[in-house]
Amino acid sequence: MLEILVGIISGIVSGGGMGGGTILILSLSMFMGVEQHIAQATNLVFFIPTSIVAIIVNVKNKLIDYKVAIPVAISGVIGAVIGAIYASKIDVKNLKKYFGIFLAIIAVMEIYSLLKKYIFDKNSNNKIIKK
């Protein structure tokens, strides 16, 4: 049952274009006891059908800029091959550490962008931000 719940949540996040794989990897490795290498490989298999569905919906809604998407997709495939080879050679303990650092960097970037937008929106409305 937990597997189904994790799949649904990850699928919803992936469909929204926000990287549901991160949630999937965390759920598999932290809550379900799956080894990090296996969790990451499972994420890659999970990614294929969810990506296909998201692509179909976005093509139908004419939301894809092919001039950007094609070079990014080709580069992504090359990067995925390099990353998979590299990740398979890293010790599980270090792989978890690197994944955690990656998540922390993403979190900091997201918080920064939200704060920047919030402060910009406040200043653009000519309101004074009090401390």
pLDDT of the residue at 46: 83
User: SS3 for the chain, per residue?
Assistant: CHHHHHHHHHHHHHHCCCCHHHHHHHHHHHHCCCCHHHHHHHHHHHHHHHHHHHHHHHHHCCCCCHHHHHHHHHHHHHHHHHHHHHHHCCCHHHHHHHHHHHHHHHHHHHHHHHHHHHHHHHHHCCCCCCC
Query: d(Cα 110, Cα 104) in Å, to the nearest integer?
Result: 10
pLDDT higher for 126 or 85? 85
Q: What pLDDT is attached to residue 126?
A: 53
Residue 38 scores a pLDDT above 80: yes
Instruction: Please list, in sequence order, all residues whose beta carbon lies within 8 angstroms of the beta carbon of residue 42, skipping any fewer than 6 positions away.
Output: 24, 28, 34
pLDDT of 71 reads 94
Q: In the predicted model, is pLDDT for residue 59 greater than 90?
A: yes
Mean pLDDT of 36-61: 88
Q: pLDDT (tens digit, 9 = 90+) per residue, 67-83? A: 999 999 999 889 989 98
